Amino acid sequence: MALYVLAWDDTTNRRKRTTFTPNGGTSGKAGEVALSANSTSATIAFSSAQPDTTYVLSVSFVNLVDVSPQYQTVIVTAKTVNGFTASWNSGLDSSNYKLAYAVTAAS
């Protein structure tokens, strides 16, 4: 079963619909990473390298605990075949946040 994800395409500078296939090799990487209070970035390392850096990322915060979680924009500030760094403007107000991400192959 395929899941469609809206992601930003750096080549065209537009959103595009991409296909995310769970457990589908290089185009099926996804996960959640716990974040620390006051953090302003997270670096994610892939278990295996991507073929190149044309892959598309979808990243967002998850917080299912805090009554009034912060609303911040997450931006990818670095990208290599081995992983990426996501950043945001202000330190998180608790350690109840996770960074959720999905990697899809560029099409």
Task: Quick: pLDDT tens for 21-47.
Answer: 444 444 568 899 999 999 999 999 998
| Closest to 85 measured CA to CA, from 77, 73, 96 | 77
CA-atom Rg of the chain in angstroms: 14
More confident residue, 107 or 65: 65
Query: May I ask the CATH class of domain 3-104?
Result: mainly beta
Which residue is associated with the tokens 């915060």?
61
pLDDT above 50 (res 1)? no
Q: Is the pTM of this model over 0.95?
A: no
Which comes out higher in pLDDT, residue 34 or 11? 34
